[in-house]
Copies of this chain bind each other. A is one copy, B any other.
Amino acid sequence: MSIEKLLKPKSIAVVGASSNISRVGGRLYNHLIQHGFKGAVYLVNPRHQHIGDMKCYASVSDIPHAVDTLLIAVPANAVVPVLEEAGKANVKSAVVYSSGFSETGEDGRLKQERLEQTAQAFEMSVCGPNCVGVINFQDRIAMSFSQFLNVPALIPGRIAFISQSGALGGSLLNRAQDKKIGFSYFVSGGNEAVLDSTDFMEYFIDDPNTSVIMALLEGVRKAEKFLKVSEQALKKNKPIIVMKVGKTAAGSKAASSHTASMTGSDEVYEGIFRQQGIIRVHDLDDLYLTASAFEKSQLPRGNRVGILTSTGGGGVILTDKLVESGLSVPAPAPETALNLKRVVPAFTSVSNPFDLTAQLINDPELFKKALNVFANDENFDAVIVAASMVAGELSEKRASFIIEGVASIEKPLFTWWAAGSLSAPGMEKLEASRVPYFASAAQCVNALTALVKYAGFKNKRKSRDAGGLPAPLAAEKEIIALLTSSQAGVTEDKGKQILARYHIPVTVERSGQDLAAVSEIAENVGYPVALKVISPQIRHKTEAGGLRLNIKDKTELSTAFEEISANVRLYDARAEIEGFLVQEMAAPGKEVIIGVKQDPQFGPVVIFGLGGIFVEVLKDFSLRRAPLSETDAREMIEALKGYPLLAGVRGEKRSDLQAIVRALMSVSRLALDLKDMISEIDINPLMVYPEGQGVKVVDCLIIKKH
Partner of A168, one of B250, B257, B388: B388
Specify which of B216, B285, B315 is in contact with A254 (CB 8 Å cutoff): B315
Do A167 and B311 touch across chains, with their CB atoms under 8 A apart? yes
- With both beta carbons as reference points, the residue of chain B lying nearest to A314 in the complex is identified as B168
Q: Which residues of B contact A422 (CB under 8 A)?
A: 147-148, 150-151, 174
Q: Enumerate chain B residues within 8 angstroms of A250, measured Cβ to Cβ.
A: 319-320, 323, 328-329
Which of A9-17, A77-85, A335-343, A413-421 makes up part of the contact surface? A413-421
* CB contact list, A397-420 vs B, under 8 A: 418-420
Contact of A613 with B by CB under 8 A: yes
- Asked if A258 is at the interface (CB within 8 A of a chain B CB), the reply is yes
Nearest CB of B to A399, in Å: 15
Q: Does A441 have its Cβ within 8 Å of any Cβ on chain B?
A: yes
Say yes or no: A171 contacts B388, CB within 8 Å: yes
A155-199 to B contact mask, C-beta < 8 Å, 1/0: 000000000110110111011111000000000000000000000
A392 pairs with B150, CB closer than 8 A: yes
Determine if A420 and B320 form an interchain contact, defined as CB atoms under 8 angstroms apart. Answer: no
Number of interface residues of A (CB under 8 A): 78
A353 CB within 8 Å of chain B: yes
**CB neighbors of B among A430-469 (8 A):** 440-442
Please name all residues of chain B whose beta carbon is closer than 8 Å to the beta carbon of A249 when the two chains form the complex.
Answer: 323
Chain B contacts for A418, CB-based, 8 A: 167-168, 171-172, 175, 284
B-contact bits for A690-703, CB 8 A (1 contact / 0 none): 00000000000000
Assembly CA distance A101 to B353 (angstroms): 21
Given contacts A174-B389, A312-B259, contact A649 B324 (CB under 8 A): no
Return the CB mask of A618-650 against B: 1 if under 8 Å, else 0.
100000000000000000000001101100011
Nearest residue in B to A323 (C-beta to C-beta)? B248
Q: Which residue of B lies closest to A248 (CB)?
A: B323
In the assembly, what is the distance between CA of A170 and CA of B387, in Å?
A: 12
Q: For A319, what are the chain B residues with a Cβ–Cβ distance below 8 Å?
A: 248, 250-251, 254
- 27 A-B pairs within 8 Å (CB atoms) are namely A147-B390, A150-B392, A150-B422, A165-B312, A165-B314, A167-B388, A171-B419, A174-B420, A174-B423, A175-B419, A177-B420, A216-B313, A245-B313, A248-B323, A249-B323, A250-B328, A250-B329, A251-B319, A251-B320, A254-B312, A255-B316, A258-B312, A284-B317, A284-B441, A285-B440, A613-B649, A618-B641
**Residues of A participating in the B interface, judged by any CB pair closer than 8 Å:** 146-148, 150-151, 164-165, 167-168, 170-172, 174-178, 216, 218, 245-252, 254-255, 257-259, 282-285, 310-317, 319-320, 323-324, 328-329, 351, 353, 355, 388-392, 394, 418-423, 440-442, 613, 616-618, 641-642, 644-645, 649-650
